Amino acid sequence: MSNFLRKLLRRKHVDLENVEDTKLHRCLSTLDLTFLGIGSTLGAGIYVVAGQVAKETAGPSVVLSFFIAAVASVLAGMCYAEFGARVPKTGSAYVYSYVTVGELWAFIIGWNLILEYVIGTASVARAWSAYFDTLIGGAIEKFFSQYVHIDVPYLSKYPDFFALAITLLLTVILAIGVKESSFVNNIFTGVNLLVVTYVVVCGCFKADFKNWNISENQVPNYTDPTEPFGHGGFFSYGISGTLSGAATCFYAFVGFDCIATTGEEVQNPQKAIPISIIVSLLACFAAYFGISAILTLMWPYYDLDSSAPLPVVFDDVGWTVAKYIIAVGAICGLSTSLLGAMFPMPRVIYAMAQDGLLFWFLADISPRFHTPLLATAISGILSGCMAMLFDLTELVNMMSIGTLLAYTLVGACVLILRYRPDKEDILSNSVDLGGQERYYTGVPLLKDIIRTAFVRTGPNPTDLTSTIVAFAVLIIGFLVAGISAVIIYAQQYLANAQWWAILLLVILVVPLLLLVIVIWIQPQNKRCVTFLVPGVPVMPVISMFINIFLMLKLPVQTWVRFGVWMLIGFLIYFGYGIWKSRAEPDYRLLEQEPDETTGILSDEESINPAEKSSYQ
């Protein structure tokens, strides 16, 4: 049992001295990476999701929904940026969690990233098809609904072969090479940004603030529960609708993490990754906020078109030319979003297969194109099939839950790694035992733990302070989940000032604040990297709270499907990955010193060449 548990907690050891060595092609610049982040993020959210959320979930307060989702994404983005600067390897959050909290959590995150990218690709392909179909008068839907109708719950009304064809076409483009894909992405993203600017500027001339204050009597069928459109006003569906809208709008910001998967294909990744993540998220927030505000100011929220709201609104106000300009931008934006969703998927699969957690043949790199060819093909076919069969709303919810879980763990990993000692700290915290200087590894007494938790014992982190932080982060995760559940499910009782609901919330909040103070007291690792998350430990904890809160706002059916996906993943891991993992010989590394910069151990000197050759 001890050996089995050790396997679950073993960590990946990265040799940062040889981080430049890779089978992939290093050809991307900071600009390429920024445009990749913007292109992958600024797509379906602008042209489809904004209108859907405004009409069905949040009303005009969709602008606040986007703001809340943006805050969650920016906080998570800063955590990704710090990890990208520390560990510039292909694999994104999967690699970050592997070097920090161990293999089981890494597999869970990697498996969820695959879910995010597969469904992200499928949902954008579905949105692309629906948007194009709206522009041609619904010809695709009419044809397939008539001849190939599907009558199964949670599936699409018809098989969308057009979405399948788009996905397979971009799969071929991605397989040819990363530089070629980046060139196409840069052109389409530039066009998309110009169209977004055009929409916001032109829409200001048709804005009417009366549409943010529509009376209840003006809302059609407001008393008919079969066709509800809220109660008018800015918060048409209440605060709860705004928060639910934020959980869906969060989907619009999913995509920036694809930047973190390019660690082995970008020039100077320690600087390029943090800069690209922050710039792309800020640009996307400005675009989403502007578009959603203009959309709801130009036209009543309840009368927006769900599939293609922007061109329909401009057509309704008499600007037919704008309709076609927006159509061009939408096609470019959805294409780059689709490309950005597909780009990181084979790279995460490649990273996991290279570590032995997925089947070995998925790690093959094409000698001609320098891309993970087989992983790209398999993931593209899977995404295309899901785009063909599933409804867009179900795909969006399914993707959000996997992404939010990944973001939550990245925030936790930043806290754990920031307070972990490195080589110099270990030496400075050594003690004299019998005239021989060595690092003390005995079991601490309870009084030592309590004293260390509330009184800073030195300028540098130790094993004990690092362990205290790790357990504090674990407990914070449970407390945050409890607080989120109380706020969501006891919302009415809290609003009515019921004493038991307030007491329950206080019982959960007080220890959370206490644990944040305990983490703040502990000394941090002082090693400098190109980007550090500001406001640690508060900012990562806020990020964890927002992500977990949004997860609990998702429908129950989404959690059920998420459970099925995780069951499939655990069957693969416990049946294959745990036994084939390349981290298996990590017991050889126990006596090795960590890297001076990050505290990450290297496996280069720990295995002799003959054993290493056989091991590889």
Flag whether the pTM goes above 0.75.
no
Phi, psi of 189 (to 5 degrees): -65, -40
Q: How much is the pLDDT for 521?
A: 92
3-class secondary structure per residue, 129-181: HHHHHHHCCCHHHHHHHHHCCCCCCCECCCCCHHHHHHHHHHHHHHHHCHHHH
pLDDT, averaged in runs of 10, over the chain (616 residues) = 82 63 66 84 77 88 90 83 72 76 87 82 81 78 79 75 86 76 82 89 90 84 60 86 82 74 72 85 90 92 83 85 83 81 82 88 79 85 84 69 82 87 50 38 64 80 88 94 92 87 94 94 81 87 89 82 89 91 56 43 40 37
- Provide the b/e sequence for 7-43 (b: ≥16 CB within 10 Å): beebbbbbebeeeeeebbebebebebbbbbbbbbbbb
CA distances from 613 to 329, 330, 352, 494, 581 (A): 52, 51, 20, 62, 16
For residue 421, how far is the Cα from the chain centroid?
Answer: 28
CATH superfamily of 27-417: Amino acid/polyamine transporter I (1.20.1740.10)
HSE, CB side, 13 Å, CA atoms: give it for residue 431.
7
HSE, CB side, 13 Å, CA atoms: give it for residue 361.
3
The answer to whether the CB of 272 falls within 8 A of the CB of 33 is: yes
Q: At what angle do helices 392-418 and 238-253 cross, to 10 degrees?
A: 80
Amino acid at 45: G
HSE, CB side, 13 Å, CA atoms: give it for residue 585.
14
Phi, psi of 136 (to 5 degrees): -105, 20
The answer to whether the CB of 26 falls within 8 A of the CB of 266 is: yes
CA distances from 424 to 14, 209, 467 (A): 18, 60, 18
Amino acid at 299: W
Q: How many CB atoms lie within 10 A of CB 325?
A: 17
- Round to whole Å and give the CA distance between 197 and 238: 30
- Contacts with 64 (C-beta within 8 Å, 6 or more apart), sequence order: 58, 242, 246
Q: How many CB atoms lie within 10 A of CB 328?
A: 13
For residue 614, how far is the Cα from the chain centroid?
Answer: 37
The answer to whether the CB of 395 falls within 8 A of the CB of 119 is: yes
